[in-house]
Amino acid sequence: MAYINIYIANPCKISVKDSQLVLDGDRQMSFPVEDINSVMIESRQIMLTAYTLTALTDSGAVVYICDGCHLPHTLILPCNTHSRQRKQLMLQLALPKPVTKQLWQTIIKQKIINQAKCLELCGKRYNTVLDYAGKVLSGDSTNQESAAAREYFRILFGEDFKRQEDNALNGALNYGYAIVRGIIARSIVAHGFEPSFGIWHCSELNNFNLADDIIEPFRPLVDMLIYEGVNPDITKLTTEIKKTIYNVVNCDVLIKGERHSVSNAVDIAVEGYLNSCENKSCCIALPELVNIAMHEYE
Sequence spans of domains, the chain: 4-76, 85-279
Q: What is the mean pLDDT of residues 99-122?
A: 98
Report the alpha-carbon distance of residue 36 to residue 75 in Å, rounded.
Answer: 16
Q: What is the pLDDT of residue 31?
A: 94
Domains 4-76 and 85-279 are alike in CATH topology:
no
Q: What is the pLDDT of residue 298?
A: 61
* Cα→Cα distances 166→173, 178, 223, 270, Å: 11, 16, 17, 32
Q: What is the mean pLDDT of residues 123-145?
A: 96
* Class of 4-76 in CATH: alpha beta
- Using the CB atoms, write b or e for 189-223: b if 16+ within 10 Å: bebbbbbbbbbbbeeeeeebbbbbbbbbbbbbbbb
Mean per-residue pLDDT over the chain, rounded: 91
| Dihedral sign computed on CA atoms, order 16, 208, 219, 110 | negative
Tell me 10's DSSP state. Answer: S
The answer to whether the pTM exceeds 0.85 is yes
Q: What residue type is 224 in one-letter code?
A: M
Q: What is the pLDDT of residue 111?
A: 98
Q: What is the mean pLDDT of residues 60-75?
A: 84
Report the alpha-carbon distance of residue 16 to residue 31 in Å, rounded.
Answer: 9
Contact by Cβ (8 Å): 212, 198: yes
Read off the pLDDT of residues 7-56 as tens digits, 9 standing for 90 and up.
998 899 999 999 999 999 888 999 999 999 889 998 888 999 999 999 99
Q: What is the pLDDT of residue 209?
A: 95
Q: What is the pLDDT of residue 223?
A: 97
Q: Which overall architecture, per CATH, does domain 85-279 show?
A: Up-down Bundle (1.20)
Please, which pLDDT band fits residue 59 given cuts at 50, 70 and 90?
A: confident
Read off the pLDDT of residues 154-193 as tens digits, 9 standing for 90 and up.
999 999 898 888 899 999 999 999 999 999 998 998 888 8
Task: Tell me the pairing of strands 12-17 and 20-24.
Answer: antiparallel
Cβ-based neighbour number of residue 158 at 10 Å: 11
